[in-house]
Amino acid sequence: MAWIVLIISGVLEAVWATALGRAEGFTRLGPSITFVVALILSMAGLAFAMRDLPTGTAYAVWVGIGATLTVVYAMVTGDESVSALKIICLVAIVGGVVGLKALH
């Protein structure tokens, strides 16, 4: 159960990070509200998962999922350029996350 909650929390990290960028310094209400709600849920899920998982592993997986999805979303929407080197770096992050899960 902890791993499922951690994965969902990582997805929510990507949501709040993206919303933060779109909130334009908290001047846009919708993205600002999305940021706050996703941030609270993401942190609560991370805290829940850390009851059963080591802090370092949980945090690294949470950040890895969030960072990867944030960049992929930005690439898909055209907010971020796509390059072979960026793809390789994202694959390395995903590989690290999978490795941490496999070694746990």
| Confidence band for 22, pLDDT divided at 50, 70 and 90 | very high
* Residue 100, pLDDT above cutoff 90: no
**What is this structure's pTM?**
0.91
Q: Which residues of 62-75 are buried (b: 16+ CB within 10 A; e: fewer)?
A: bebbbbbbbbbebb
- Contact status, residue 93 vs residue 34, Cβ threshold 8 Å: no
Burial of 78 from C-beta contacts in 10 A (0-12 / 13-18 / 19+): exposed
Q: Name the pLDDT band for 101 (thresholds 50, 70, 90).
A: confident
